[in-house]
Structure 1
């Protein structure tokens, strides 16, 4: 998915994420775990975001992945969603969905908003 974001959007998203991270540190720790798991398994960020937001993920479904690996991944997503503060964090995903799940994930991992300017093709 190609997303083009303004620096203002990215800076606002980063500030909101940082504020939420301070308010919900354990929830963000689990979210970072899921983002790193997504990267390690080489799944698309949009697949992760779709699962988190209860959207149709079929377009981004990883192919050639054993069912046991997908089950494990989906269990980790569900563990995050079952956390008490996850709804507050997921509100940020909804609010900044136009930026794209990939850019939001990279902001959470500590990338600067400036490094994510312009068109970025990350799935």
Structure 2
């Protein structure tokens, strides 16, 4: 999926993420863990975003992994989604969907908004 991001959108998303980090540090740690796990398993960030927002995205489903690995991944995500403050994460991914789930994930991994400006094709 190709997304086009303005610096303003990226800065707003980054500020929202900083707010989550300050107000709900445990939630932020779970979110960071989910993003790092997604990266380590080489799943697409778009798949993570769809999973968190409970959206169907068949083209992004990981087909190269065993069922046990996929079940473990979903179990790890459920720890995040069961957090009482998960609505903050859902708002983040929903409100900034236009910049792309991949860029949201890269912001979570401490990339700067300036480094993410412009069109990219990151999944």
TM-score of the superposition, structure 2-length normalised? Answer: 0.97
The count of residues paired between Structure 1 and Structure 2 equals 123
1:18 aligned partner = 18
Give distance in 2, aligned partners of 1:23 and 1:29.
Answer: 12
- Where do residues 1-123 of structure 1 align in structure 2 (5 Å cutoff)? 1-123=1-123
TM-score of the superposition, structure 1-length normalised? Answer: 0.97
Runs of 4+ in 1 over 6 A off after TM superposition: none
Give distance in 1, aligned partners of 2:51 and 2:87.
Answer: 14
Give deviations 1:33-90, integer Å, cap 9, x for gaps. 0000000000000101110000003120011210000000011111110011111221
- Deviation of 1:94 after TM superposition, in Å, equals 0.7
Instruction: Output the aligned Cα RMSD.
Output: 0.8
Give distance in 1, aligned partners of 2:67 and 2:36.
Answer: 20
Give distance in 1, aligned partners of 2:34 and 2:54.
Answer: 16
Give distance in 2, aligned partners of 1:68 and 1:4.
Answer: 35
Structure 2: unaligned runs, 5 residues or longer: none
Give distance in 2, aligned partners of 1:102 and 1:27.
Answer: 19
